Amino acid sequence: KQEVTQIPAALSVPEGENLVLNCSFTDSAIYNLQWFRQDPGKGLTSLLLIQSSQREQTSGRLNASLDKSSGRSTLYIAASQPGDSATYLCAVVAPPYGYALNFGKGTSLLVTP
Amino acid sequence: NAGVTQTPKFQVLKTGQSMTLQCAQDMNHNSMYWYRQDPGMGLRLIYYSASEGTTDKGEVPNGYNVSRLNKREFSLRLESAAPSQTSVYFCASSESGSNQPQHFGDGTRLSIL
């Protein structure tokens, strides 16, 4: 059974810092890995999708990497802002449930002014 | 610009009552999903529908039924609600294929007393 783990569970940083969120998964037979943002009381917003054949994806201040062979992904956030405060979820698309997502428990990020 | 719409947003039920959670998407997506989110457990897949006319069980299907009414709508039914089904329920949709991002609704917060 695929297990997705995110470390740390919570993180607090001052505004302006660069930071890295970590995600690991136990089975490398994935189709892709996705990073989401979840604000309190809200749904999930897709941030980045990395296909299994890719090594990284970038969107603005966000950069996600994927090392499928070692079962690891990182989400790098540059020059953090208070508006980045949210829970960040990592998920993989892998068998046996079609193309459904298998989620980690998330990292709760607080960026302080 | 609606995306994925879930109704109701909040609901309180008594043990043994039944209810249907509604989900509709306006993006002409083939695939739809139901997840539940519980503290400390992350999001888990309940049921999914890869295309209109098909539904399949996910990781935690017990106590639930689904109907893919048409391409737009995918409903989740609790026949006899139990306190263990207290959770936040999210519906999501995506294009067909292994490398399509999923789009989420804002969730239904359900309490079973």
Test mutation, B27, B46, B51, B99, chain A, max A CBs within 10 A:
B99
Q: In chain B, whose CA is at the least distance from the CA of A88?
A: B42
> Which residues of chain B make contact with A99, given a CB cutoff of 8 A?
31, 50, 94, 97-98, 100
Which chain B residues in 43-72 lie under 8 Å from chain A, judged by CB atoms? 43-45, 48, 50, 56, 58-59
- The pLDDT tens digits for A55-92 are 999 999 999 999 999 999 999 999 999 999 999 999 99
- Between residues A32 and B69, which one has the greater pLDDT? A32
Amino acid (1-letter code) at residue B88? V
In the numeric block, the tokens 């989620």 are attached to A103
Give the strand pairing for B56-57 and B42-49: antiparallel
Q: Per the structure block, which two tokens stand in for B54?
A: 């098909």
DSSP codes of every residue in B37-98: EETTTEEEEEEEESSTT--EE-SS-TTEEEEE-SSSBEEEEESS--GGG-EEEEEEEE-SST
Per-residue pLDDT of chain B (113 residues; tens, 9 = 90+): 679 999 999 999 999 999 999 999 999 999 999 999 998 888 999 999 999 999 999 999 999 999 998 999 999 999 999 999 999 999 999 998 888 999 999 999 999 99
Q: Per the structure block, which two tokens stand in for A108?
A: 């709760």
Q: Which of B58, B92, B100 sits opposite A97 (nearest CB)?
A: B58
For residue B2, the model assigns a pLDDT of 76
Does A51 sit within 8 Å of B101, measured CB to CB?
no
Report d(CA A73, CA A35) in Å as an integer: 10
For residue B1, the model assigns a pLDDT of 64
DSSP state, residue A79: S
Of B38, B49, B105, nearest in space to A97 by CA: B49
Helices (DSSP H) in chain A: which residue ranges? none
For residue B33, the model assigns a pLDDT of 97
Does A97 sit within 8 Å of B50, measured CB to CB?
no
**CB of B74 less than 8 A from some CB of A:** no
